[in-house]
Amino acid sequence: MTPESGKKPVGEIAKRITKDFGSWGAFKDIFTKAAASVEGVGWAILAWNPRSGRLVLQTFEKHQLFQIADIIPLLVLDMWEHAYYLQYKTNKNEYIDNWWNVVNWDDVNKRYMEGKKVKWPLF
């Protein structure tokens, strides 16, 4: 997170988002809806899947059951109530909208570039 967010992806991650989701706007819409759909304690995650060679979007609920298999997290949004309640009360949508303003896309791009180096064989 950074207060100096460019508010849009930069570098290779920007190209990959367009390739895998069609456009930045389409990705943002899908991610936003996925995050808003998380009930209770959970996360929305943009991740790299080395086996498929694609970006994936996953949501997780019930933290104690949280399990990531075959993906490398690149961008994570905490949807636990403790992350937004004091400032936004029950307005998850406003929390998500404002979260986009502080995403550190330089860091996401760096994680993506490192993740692309990982080579996992197909099963």
Rounded Cα distance between 75 and 28, Å, is 12
* Residue 120 falls inside a structural domain: no
CATH number at 34 reads 3.55.40.20
The residue among 111, 117, 87, 116 whose CA lies nearest residue 99 is 87
pTM of the model: 0.91
Per the structure, how many domains does the chain have?
1
User: What tens digit of pLDDT does each residue of 20-54 get?
Assistant: 999 999 999 999 999 999 987 899 999 999 999 99
The residue among 123, 113, 114, 101 whose CA lies nearest residue 6 is 101
* Residue 18 falls inside a structural domain: yes
* Residue 2 falls inside a structural domain: no
Look up residue 12 and give its two tokens.
């290779």
Sign of CA dihedral 59, 64, 69, 75: positive
User: What tens digit of pLDDT does each residue of 86-118 get?
Assistant: 898 989 999 999 999 999 999 999 999 999 999
Q: Which residues form the domain of 93? A: 11-115
* Residue 3 falls inside a structural domain: no
